[in-house]
Amino acid sequence: MCGSVLFAASDAPFLKSDSSAASRGLGIVIARILAVRGYDLVIGARERVPLFDAAESLRELGRRVVPVEGNIADSGVRARLIDEARELGGLDVLVNNASELGGIRPVTELDPSVVEHVFRVNVVAPLALVTHAVPLLEQHGGLVVNVSSDAARGAYPGWAAYGASKAALELVTRTIDAELRGQRVFAVAVDPGDMRTRMHQAAFPGEDISDRPEPEVTAPFWNWLFAQHPATVGGERFAAQEADARWLLPV
């Protein structure tokens, strides 16, 4: 089986972000599961050292792994990700995992430039990457996985920019599936739940988040998802830490 996992992080000038992409946290968990399932990988992140360390560890699982350093909001980086997937032979799975938090602050204190940046990374970049990836995805009946959040529905005080961007991403996900399933391209949104990650810590500076589970808690869900035919899951929203009802949440 040949496939590509495309993770890339923002350049995060506003700092409050998870730059892990495929190099640590949830990203490396998903990438490792896909490698074990027989996929070759294209992975991306902003930080060179953890990215290349992750690529080396994934190669130990016997797969071809191509790291692409850069910011997913950069069109040139997106083009390189797609080019590398093409060189590996195609694209079965596209995972948009990079997210920008943008800080936690009341609506009345939001900086419009920060909100714009959050939307560029969390909505515009994944949509643009999918647009470029369609020719490869349709050849393989591919699946787009957009990583969302409960903040998309929670209306949590201080989370307006991030929550609104994830709500938009979920709508984009359903639209992608509705428009492209006739071309054998399917899309799902996944809420991974609260986890002990750098991004979650940034959302709660100075607080102890050791009660949150490690990203590996989501592994059973990813193994289940990637065992499904994309057409049977496309258009749905899932919660990766909820094992009842196939992890399915109402859209």
In the chain, where are the structural domains located?
Answer: 17-249
pLDDT tier at 25 (50, 70, 90 boundaries)? confident
Q: Has domain 17-249 been given CATH number 3.60.15.10?
A: no
Per-residue pLDDT, 46: 87
> Model confidence over 203-238: pLDDT tens digits?
555 665 566 668 888 999 999 999 999 999 999 999
The answer on pLDDT for 202 being more than 90 is no
Q: Which of 162, 186, 226, 247 is catalytic?
A: 162
Is 162 part of the annotated catalytic residue set? yes
Question: How far is residue 166's CA from residue 171's CA, in Å, rounded to a whole number?
Answer: 9
- Give the strand pairing for 17-18 and 41-45: unpaired
Residue 83 has pLDDT above 90, yes or no: yes
User: pTM value?
Assistant: 0.86
- Other beta carbons within 10 angstroms of residue 206's beta carbon come to 5
Residue 22's pLDDT band (boundaries 50, 70, 90)?
very low
Average pLDDT of 54-67? 94
Cα dihedral angle (6, 37, 49, 124), rounded to 10 degrees? 20
Residues 111-142 pLDDT 10s: 999 999 999 999 999 999 999 999 999 999 99
Name the band, by pLDDT with cuts 50, 70 and 90, for residue 251: very low
Instruction: Please determine, for residue 247, whether its predicted confidence score (pLDDT) is greater than 70.
Output: no
Q: How does residue 193 score in pLDDT terms, banded at 50, 70 and 90? A: confident
What is the pLDDT, as a whole number, of residue 212?
Answer: 63
- Between 8-22, 56-70, 220-234, the lowest mean confidence (pLDDT) is in 8-22
pLDDT in tens, 171-186: 999 999 999 999 999 9
Average pLDDT, the chain: 84
Q: How many residues does the chain have?
A: 251
**Non-local CB neighbours of 37 within 8 Å, separated by 6+ positions:** 1, 223, 226
